[in-house]
């Protein structure tokens, strides 16, 4: 499925190509569908505010929320700012400015009449543009369950398409539950929208350390030269969450940890980490190199897969319920909440190196990291020494550190493990790291 994604967004509003030769410099409306949901409240609106606050949104931008929930403008603004952090007075003023450009429309996802109501609201906004003849641009971001993607896309195309302007429709994983359903969804989307108007995104590609992988690898000769089967023993990519489904088991049980995290987020990280150097930073060139890596990966052996499901336990914070104790989860569910799998890349560079992908919920900590373990010194005076390891921490607390061996101070030749450490919070303390959705 990852190989079939034709575009990857990393936080920018897409502005090249598309319906015509104009760019999204002005006269643009962003419509957030599913505006009352968790994704919109916790991620989409804070990201939009971050872009607005830093001047990255088009001039005169307007944001329209659309959802089934009935609420007035005041309630909508409360939801929008619920998860937005504005710690300083200047930012609080900017937040009030942002709220003024945010409006709300209530409607269904399967009725033309509702989308015609949305069209009326968009028309009223666009009637205020200074240049009445300028193209009217619309970006539709679907913070919605994938089950309604194609239905909503069809209604938007029929009722809300801006003729002569730039149109963008943005959908995020999961794109179906398997290859067949993913292809079916792609066909239905492309039946209504042009390919260069559809943006399929994985927000993990917007994380700072994931974006940094290309630079770390190809801008540092010593690292790139060591990324091969002769020097590397294994690579571990780990995703851990300390919380369970917590009332959202209905959604999770439909997909499980493999479809929710491994086949998209972790597979994207794996492909960027192991691909050959692209010709350029263009999305097409990067995609081509990632696809080459994916084609080298054979089917995973069942003997190299471990699945699990978390159970209830007593902790210092009290009793933590198990997965099957969640009222939104079927009592006979065998859905995995933990998975570990060994993957192999049968390319000249990586043949024989195991890549271990691990992901789970309700674990002991919040962490996403990449561990690249180098081969041991097998003989000579340092045969028993600790192996070298390059660790790239994606979250929380972005960092890169190289575990090395050094002589301990003093008269003896005793060796000690040490770390060359680049912790972003210390090194870049004066810079704000954008959220992945930005």
Strand partners, 102: 63
DSSP code per residue over 246-312: TT-HHHHHHHHHIIIIIIIIIHHHHHHHHSPPPSSSSHHHHHHHHHHHHHTPPPPPGGGEEEE----
- In the numeric block, the tokens 């994606």 are attached to 394
Is the previous residue joined to 20 through a cis bond, with omega within 30 degrees of 0?
A: no
265 is catalytic: yes
Backbone angles phi and psi of 130, in degrees to 5 = -65, -45
Residues 203, 56: Cα–Cα separation, whole Å: 18
**Parallel/antiparallel/unpaired status of strands 167-172 and 137-142:** parallel
Residues 400, 419: Cα–Cα separation, whole Å: 10
Backbone angles phi and psi of 391, in degrees to 5 = -115, 125
Strands lying side by side in the sheet with 389-395: 305-308, 338-344, 354-360, 232-240, 367-374, 389-395, 399-407, 415-423
Give all strands (DSSP E) within 151-278, no chain letters.
Answer: 167-172, 198-201, 232-240
Nearest to 68 by CA among 127, 3, 17, 114: 114
Q: Which of 77, 203, 265, 344 is catalytic?
A: 265
CB 270 within 8 A of CB 305: no
CB 63 within 8 A of CB 38: no
CB burial readout 386-412, b (16+ within 10 A) else e: eebbbbbbbbeebbbbbbeeeeeeeee
- Residues with catalytic annotation? 265
């Amino acid at each position: 499925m990852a190989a079939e994604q034709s575009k990857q967004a990393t936080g920018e509003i897409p502005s090249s190509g598309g319906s015509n030769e104009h760019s999204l410099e002005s006269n643009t409306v962003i419509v957030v569908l599913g505006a009352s949901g968790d994704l919109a409240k916790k991620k989409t609106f804070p990201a939009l505010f971050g872009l607005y606050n830093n001047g990255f949104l088009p001039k005169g931008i307007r944001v329209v929320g659309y959802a089934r929930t009935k609420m007035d403008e005041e309630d909508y603004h409360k939801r929008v700012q619920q998860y937005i952090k504005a710690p300083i007075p200047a930012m609080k003023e900017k937040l009030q400015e942002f709220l003024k450009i945010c409006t709300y429309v209530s409607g269904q996802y399967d009725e033309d009449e509702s989308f015609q109501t949305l069209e009326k609201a968009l028309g009223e906004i666009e009637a205020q543009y200074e240049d009445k003849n300028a193209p009217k641009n619309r970006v539709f971001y679907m913070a919605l369950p994938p089950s309604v993607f194609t239905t909503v896309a069809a209604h938007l195309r029929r009722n809300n398409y801006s003729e002569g302007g730039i149109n963008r429709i943005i959908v995020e994983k999961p794109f179906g539950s398997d290859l067949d359903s993913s292809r079916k969804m792609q066909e239905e989307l492309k039946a209504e929208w042009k390919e260069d108007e559809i943006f399929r995104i994985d927000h993990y590609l917007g994380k700072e350390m994931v974006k940094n992988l290309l630079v770390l690898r190809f801008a540092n000769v010593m690292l790139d030269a060591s990324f091969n089967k002769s020097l590397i023993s294994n690579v571990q990519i780990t995703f851990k969450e300390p919380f369970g489904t917590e009332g959202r088991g209905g959604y999770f049980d439909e997909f499980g940890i493999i479809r929710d995290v491994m086949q998209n987020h972790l597979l994207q990280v794996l492909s960027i980490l192991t691909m050959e150097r692209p010709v350029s930073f263009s999305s097409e060139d990067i995609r081509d190199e990632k696809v080459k890596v994916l084609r080298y990966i054979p089917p995973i052996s069942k003997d190299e897969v471990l699945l699990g499901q978390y159970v209830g336990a007593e902790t210092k914070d009290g009793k933590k319920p198990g997965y099957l104790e969640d009222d939104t989860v079927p009592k006979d569910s065998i859905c995995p909440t933990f998975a570990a799998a060994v993957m192999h890349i049968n390319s000249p560079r990586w043949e024989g190196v195991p890549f271990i992908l691990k992901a789970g919920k309700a674990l002991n900590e919040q962490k996403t990291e990449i561990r690249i373990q180098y081969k041991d010194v097998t003989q000579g005076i340092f045969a028993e020494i600790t192996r070298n390891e390059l660790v790239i921490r994606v979250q929380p607390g972005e960092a890169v550190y190289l575990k090395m061996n050094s002589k301990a101070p003093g008269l003896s030749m005793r060796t000690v493990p040490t770390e060359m450490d680049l912790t972003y919070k210390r090194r870049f303390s004066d810079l704000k790291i954008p959220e992945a959705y930005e």
